[in-house]
Structure 1
């Protein structure tokens, strides 16, 4: 498989970006540059690593064998690499067709539906659910798996409608977050609610931990 995708990182299992345990692929590169974005490190197009789509498919196959419930693609901006994304989801769909259970695909994009062209729609044809809309720091929300109230979780398949029917308007008491450590640095996975990152920053300082750099500030 010759197609490639520039990614920031991958992780399995993730339980903070969709239902169940999921493989998450964060793509690299985003020109939307939403104010307050917690993942500024994924903005530069020259960052990350360009990898063959076949390698990502093997990660997905491994996650399925280990019990994954689904696949989430975030970023960065996935739809700024529509050809690579289309190739990845098409091949990942072939893998899930051989699974013994239903597996869903969730894709995040900062674009609105009206901004998408044919290549973008082709890229998400296998997505069961798409979260549309730019992150807007002035519109906080308690809705699960969304960073701001303007973002819309849109089921696009029968599986998506069944699995996410009770989740589109779900606002849990606490937003799901996951903390991992990679290369000695803590890494937050999920969509923090307003003030959560500031509180985390203060808590770490209160514990005597020196915070020298974070991805949500320039």
Structure 2
């Protein structure tokens, strides 16, 4: 069984193309300044069986998915479920006439720790972003929150899709707003200070947030 914080499609702000985004629930790393504190609690989120992933990925492929992005929370806290997800993606054939989908995984662990905690996981991913978020080390590198985080290219497909992004610094980071009932989610990696500025702008427009995922 997997405990998930959220699942979105299409995600366009965390990797190239149109992606299925899967956020695992539970994170003991608890980085100060994290924008996703709602994913920390190990007993939060929604529980799904591991075989649910195959159907979710098939639906995403049918809707034009070109990749999978896994984040959290901390995916290595649920290694068997993470492997079930990655295997479901790898075993699904690409729709006729389409390019193969790539897999990007975020972890607050090091690459060595990831390999230890999720045996075989690196062999099922094309790219891996490693390292905890450090609010004191801002960066403008795409898809990374702090300068200590590293983008590792693990496969030929990963090198093909991500090589141009290793040192890419966009003028503005890609971001998405996802509206779901009474909740608005911010998908992407904002730069330091972006979230407080957004709150101030909303207040100036007489829009007041309730609970924010980035505040205690």
Counterpart of 1:197 (choices 176, 190, 195) is 195
Q: C-alpha offsets along residues 54-103 of structure 1, whole Å, 9 cap, x if unaligned?
A: 22221111111111110000000001111111111112111145663221
Counterpart of 1:83 (choices 56, 80, 84) is 80
- Deviation for aligned residue 1:53: 2.1
Structure 2 residue runs of 5 or longer lacking an equivalent are none
What pairs up with 1:171-210 in 2 under 5 angstroms? Answer: 171-210=169-208
Counterparts of 1:15 and 1:135, CA distance in 2: 21
TM-score computed with the length of structure 1 as normaliser = 0.94
Extract structure 1 runs of 4+ deviating beyond 6 A.
none
1:53 aligned counterpart, secondary structure: coil
Residue 4 of structure 2 corresponds to 7
Residue 24 of structure 1 corresponds to 21
1:91 aligned counterpart, secondary structure: helix
- Deviation for aligned residue 1:126: 0.6
Counterparts of 2:66 and 2:111, CA distance in 1: 26
Q: C-alpha offsets along residues 8-58 of structure 1, whole Å, 9 cap, x if unaligned?
A: 110000100000110000000000000000000000000011101222221
Q: Structure 1's 79 and 11: CA in aligned 2 closer, same or farther, altered over 3 A?
A: same
Q: Structure 1's 117 and 126: CA in aligned 2 closer, same or farther, altered over 3 A?
A: closer
Residue 162 of structure 2 corresponds to 164
Structure 1 residue runs of 5 or longer lacking an equivalent are none
Contact kept, 8 Å, 2:138 with 2:147, in 1: the verdict is: yes
Counterpart of 2:30 (choices 33, 41, 44) is 33
What pairs up with 1:23-172 in 2 under 5 angstroms? Answer: 23-96=20-93, 100-116=98-114, 118-172=116-170
Contact kept, 8 Å, 1:83 with 1:119, in 2: the verdict is: no
Counterparts of 2:112 and 2:105, CA distance in 1: 17
Contact kept, 8 Å, 1:144 with 1:175, in 2: the verdict is: yes
Contact kept, 8 Å, 1:83 with 1:123, in 2: the verdict is: no
Deviates more, 1:15-24 or 1:180-189: 180-189
TM-score computed with the length of structure 2 as normaliser = 0.95
